[in-house]
Structures are given as structure tokens and as C-alpha cells.
Structure 1
Amino acid sequence: MDNKEKTTAVLGIGNALVDVINVLENDAVLTEFGLPRGSMTLVDAELSRKIYETTRFNKREITTGGSAANTIYSLASLGGSCGYLGKIGDDKLGKIFREEFEQKNIGTHLLKSDKDTGRVMSLVSPDSERTMATYLGAAADLKPTELTREIFSSYSILYIEGYLVQDHELIETAIDLARAEGLKIAIDLSSFNIVEENLGFLQKLITGKVDIVFANEEEALAFTGREPQQAIAEIAKVCDIAVVKIGKAGSIIQRGNERVNVATIEANPIDTTGAGDNYSAGFFYGLANNFSLEKCGRIATLVSGKVVEVIGAKLSDEQWPGILKQISEMD
């Protein structure tokens, strides 16, 4: 990575996916396919195809994505220094993914697979809640043996999406290599059902090797068994910075004994896809600029509040100058 400052650079690792975002008239599709509302469910290629066909007449948008990829894309849009590590297929979707990231001046560490590039069927309910059915494809083909210390050497923070947690060896290898290069480790818990299924592993991992934890209230409850105000205190005991996002009630951030509450901005939500991913992007931008925890949270809230007003996890290039202007005017 040329011209990247290690002191501010964030490397995201995650499932490199293409998002197929569908706006639903009701939740019948979720019931039909047994998808828990508001969750992420892994599906095979056949079920993904069936969901695609069933929703083909819905309003839809197709874009590159994946949780950590969304964060890194938005961080780059803010002017942050960043890179992305994942695996794609040698196909049209993989080519689109690579080109889109390179155009944003994101350091790309995209390994190739014989499998097709993965995709997410993102199903948006009328109240803007999103449910995801994910076919991982090439994304799940990333192997611990393919990671090297050199990949991490130009960065200061490794950001891990919780959707990778099922592969314990991959996560532990990435963290150990990153820590050997002096990186701090950040993780987003991503989905309450993933936390529940990997609770023991996550508790051990976060207690011993993670510096920054992002969670929403459902994930925090699954991780600690407690509601947000108590959950953040528990998480903050085992990491440097804990963040719990509580929807319309805003977010709580704690570092040591310092705790701040950040209110949401006024927004007209139509799709919550990518809200958490964009919150992380704003937060990392604040950290990179050595802003206070409160200002980091306000930037995170601004970015996530703007993205829920559009379909999909990305803001348009035309929106970012206005956001950066608002950030510059913050106290």
C-alpha cells in the first residue's frame, strides 16, 4: 500500500459479497423461507436462487458489499486510509468488486477462488428492518494458510466482521498475524444468532485479543445476557473501547471509566441495511483524527443516520462532501 499512514490505516477483513437488495411489501417471504426477521442466515446456492426468483418483481438494487467491505468503502469515502482483505471468484462479479474498491483508492488484498463470488439477498421489510440470506461462495474459501504478516504490515487497525467468526482458525490466525505487526484489533459482532452460536469462542477471543468491540443491543444481550447500560459495562471490562448501538435511542460508548451517550440524528429511514457498517466507518474516521469519544460517536451517528435514508449500504459520491462539511462544523 503506497502512501498509506500506518498510524491511521484500517484493514477490513470479511466476506466479499455482492448485495441484492429487495424491498418487500410484507414479511411473507421471510416466513416462506424460514428466515428469522432481522437476522443473517447462511444459505446454499439453491436456496439463494429460490429467494432471488421469488423476489424478482420487487424493487431491487444490486451493489457490491459485505459488512466489513461496506465499512471500508465508506471510510475511504470520508478520506480515510484503508484496505480490504477477502476472497472473490474469477468472474464478472469479482471483477466488479475489485474495480469498485480500487477506484476508491482502497488497498485491495483480494484472493481468487474457483467458486463464484458470494452474494447476499437482503430483504427489507416495510418498517425498514433488514433480513439477510447469504450465499458465501468464494468468500468462504479464504483459508488461514493464505494469510501472511506482510498483508497487515501497512495498517494500524484490523477490523473483523462477526460473520467470519464461524471459521475460528481463520479469525485466530488473522488476529495473531496482525498483533505480531502491532495492529489493534476491532470486531463487530454483526448478528445475535452468530453470537449465540459462537459465544464461548467470542468471550475468550475478545477477553484476550480484541481492543474495540461494536455491538447492537441484541448482540450485546446475546454476548452478556444484559440490557445495553449493563452490557456495555461488561464489554468494556474486557476491551479498550466498547460500543453498543441501540437503534433510535442512539449509542453508548465506553473506554475505561469514560462513558458517553450519543443521540441519533433526525432521519427518514427507509432501509437499515449497512447502518452498523457505516457507524463503524464514521467511528474509525474519528479515531484516526484523534477526536474525543463523543465526537467519534457523533460522526458515526451522522454517517449511519444518512445511510438509512437510502436503499442499500452505500451513500452516493454526491452526498459525502456535505457530510464532511457537517463533520468540520462539529465542536
Structure 2
Amino acid sequence: HRKGTQRDPTPGTGRDRGMIHVVGHTATDHIFKVPHLPGKNTSTQILDHQIFFGGGAANIAVGIATLGGESILVSAVGGDFTGSDYDTWLDKHRVGRFFYIEEDAHTALACMFTDENEDQITFFEWGASEAFTKADPPAFDFVHMATADPSYNVKVAERARFSSFDPGQDIHKYTAEQFEQLLDTIDLLFANRFEAEIMGDVLNLTEEELAARVPVAIFTRGGEGSRLYEDTSLTAIPSVPVTLIDPTGAGDAYRAGFLTAYQKEMSLADCCRIGTVCSSFVIEKVGCQTNLPDWEQVQERYQRYFG
């Protein structure tokens, strides 16, 4: 269902400048560098192992807050979270919280292995995030749905005034029916090239047909930049040339930049460019939240590359 002009993502329609709720995982990231991703029944050497704050929704919420926006993280954490370094980190960045707390569980864990070609594979343990499977969400005003339980996200999209969605690493949990329900209700779709291919295969749709199902679609393509579809009109957004150290978290930073710029009522193409600039900072260092830029840094780099 669409809700008339209230759900119209076109610039100048009086967007709410207030809080952005971000739904999904809060997790500890273990990031490994390997020479190559091994095949079945084989092994490879671990060249580097570092631990960082992560989880798709948390990355986006902290990114928005670092840019000067207001965000509330809608997430599930375990009994191990209160008083933790991550808890303090969220306080430091003034990220609001709408938490489901599972006292007997531990907070989610992600293990990401990246090879020398920057190809990546992720193993994710949900832990406390299982709380999403039995939770009933309220009606959020402006919400972005990142990685979370598909049935929870479907309910969020149905009840929200304005919603955007990216499937993330949980994409394989969605049924065709759940994808259909989301495409019928969301205002913005984000997906990288692999997620767009998977959704397209499940629904038997091309990228263009997938984009036509929603008012606005943004498909990120790594070093090739991103594609913005608005009412079937395609705009190509180039990437920002920087030294790539680690690609983990680039998509989350893009979404944080886009959504913050969107709340500032910038054009959709400029929102994509702001997202591109934000992701360019994150890939310069290891860790999803290690090198998130503030708005002044984004503006300076934006001017340098986009004028």
C-alpha cells in the first residue's frame, strides 16, 4: 500500500527532519584478512584478525549520528551489552535506543573474511537478535530497515509512514512473498549488486524491473559507483577514488550518508553522492565505525570530487 503524498520521496514534499529509526543488528565484528577464500574441505592462512563494533543497523545509526543527524537504533542485545565498551560507544555518539534485551543471550557476532581481491564471505551468529522473530514493532515515522528478521521488517514497513530497506546478509532468509510485501510498501530500496541479483532471481525480475516496483531504488556497485532509479529514470553516480583498505561497512556508510542528506531535503542524486563520499571514508580504514566522517569532512570531500 502507498499512503499518498505522505509516502512521496520526491524532494520538496515536506520531509520530516526529525528522528531516523534504524532497524536491525548490533554486533561485534571479527574481521579477518586471508590470501584467498578457501573451497570446501580446504583451509587458508589468517593474515590479520581485528575486532570492531558492527552490525548493519548500528553502523548506520552511528553513521547518521556522526554526521550530526538524530538516530534511534532499533535492535536486540544480550545480557552482556549493558556496561560494555559498545554500550559506552553508543552513548558517546548520542545514538538513541529502542532495544529488545535478551538477558540470557549474548549480543550478535559477525566473522568476516576478506581476501586479497577484496572478495568477502561472512559468518553471522544471531544470538540476541532472535528477539526480532517474536517482537511486534510499533509504527515508526521514518525508518530504515537493515538486517533483521524478515517478518519483523515486513510489519515495520506496513506500519511506517516512510520506510527504506536493504536486505544485507540476511537476504537468504526472505521468501518471495516477503520480498513482494516489502516492495509493495517501502519508499526506498537499497541493494548492492549481489543482493539485487538474488532478489531478482527470487522474483524473476531484472534490475530495471526490480527498480520499477518502488518509487526510488539505489543499487551500489563498489568501485563502479552506484545507480539511482527514480520513476524508471536512471542516474549513474561515480565512486570517489581513494585507497581501499577494507570494504567492510561501505554500504552501511552509504546508507547513513544518503539518509542524512535526504532528511536535509537534498536532491536524490546529491543524496547518493553524499552516500558515496561517506563510504569512501570508511573503506580507508579497517572497521565499519572506525573512520565515519562528520558533516564538515563530507562537505569538503564532496566539493573536491563533485564540485
Distance in 2 separating the partners of 1:32 and 1:81: 47
Structure 2 match to 1:292: 267
Distance in 2 separating the partners of 1:109 and 1:6: 20
**Pair 1:173 & 2:173 matched:** no
Relative to structure 1, the CA distance from residue 32 to residue 99 in structure 2 (aligned partners, 3 Å threshold; closer, same or farther) is: farther
- Aligned partner letter, 1:280: R
Q: Residue 116 of structure 1 aligns to a residue in which SS?
A: coil
Q: Residue 108 of structure 1 aligns to a residue in which SS?
A: strand
Could you list the per-position Cα deviations for residues 109-133 of structure 1 after superposition, in whole angstroms to 9, with x for gaps in the alignment? Answer: 1221010111111112122222211
Trace 1:137-156 onto structure 2 (pairs within 5 A): 137-145=127-135, 147-149=137-139, 152=140, 156=141
CA offset at residue 95 of structure 1?
Answer: 3.0
Distance in 2 separating the partners of 1:146 and 1:92: 22
Could you list the per-position Cα deviations for residues 198-242 of structure 1 after superposition, in whole angstroms to 9, with x for gaps in the alignment? Answer: 34134312332111100111221222249xxx9443123221110
Q: Residue 168 of structure 2 aligns to a residue in which SS?
A: coil
CA offset at residue 195 of structure 1?
Answer: 4.0
Trace 1:111-130 onto structure 2 (pairs within 5 A): 111-113=100-102, 114-130=104-120
Trace 1:211-230 onto structure 2 (pairs within 5 A): 211-225=187-201
User: In the alignment, is the contact (CA less than 8 A) between 2:143 and 2:163 conserved in 1?
Assistant: yes
Say what the alpha-carbon RMSD is for the aligned residues.
2.8
Distance in 1 separating the partners of 2:138 and 2:42: 39
Distance in 2 separating the partners of 1:97 and 1:172: 28
Relative to structure 1, the CA distance from residue 94 to residue 16 in structure 2 (aligned partners, 3 Å threshold; closer, same or farther) is: farther
Equivalent of 1:206 in 151, 158, 182: 182
Structure 1 match to 2:166: 188
Distance in 1 separating the partners of 2:100 and 2:183: 30
- Aligned partner letter, 2:154: E
Give 5+ residue unaligned stretches, structure 2. Answer: 1-14
Distance in 2 separating the partners of 1:310 and 1:208: 37
Structure 2 match to 1:38: none
CA offset at residue 146 of structure 1?
Answer: 5.1
**Pair 1:70 & 2:59 matched:** yes
Structure 2 match to 1:251: 226
Distance in 1 separating the partners of 2:132 and 2:168: 19
CA offset at residue 279 of structure 1?
Answer: 0.9
Trace 1:58-137 onto structure 2 (pairs within 5 A): 58-91=47-80, 95-113=84-102, 114-137=104-127
Could you list the per-position Cα deviations for residues 163-199 of structure 1 after superposition, in whole angstroms to 9, with x for gaps in the alignment? Answer: 32xx34322333334x2xxx211111214xx545534
User: In the alignment, is the contact (CA less than 8 A) between 2:24 and 2:75 conserved in 1?
Assistant: yes
User: In the alignment, is the contact (CA less than 8 A) between 2:63 and 2:292 conserved in 1?
Assistant: no
- Aligned partner letter, 2:68: G
Distance in 1 separating the partners of 2:178 and 2:200: 11
Identity fraction in percent: 20
- Aligned partner letter, 1:14: G
Structure 2 match to 1:20: 30
**Pair 1:322 & 2:307 matched:** no
Distance in 1 separating the partners of 2:111 and 2:133: 24
Distance in 1 separating the partners of 2:83 and 2:126: 13
Structure 1 match to 2:4: none
Q: Residue 272 of structure 1 aligns to a residue in which SS?
A: coil
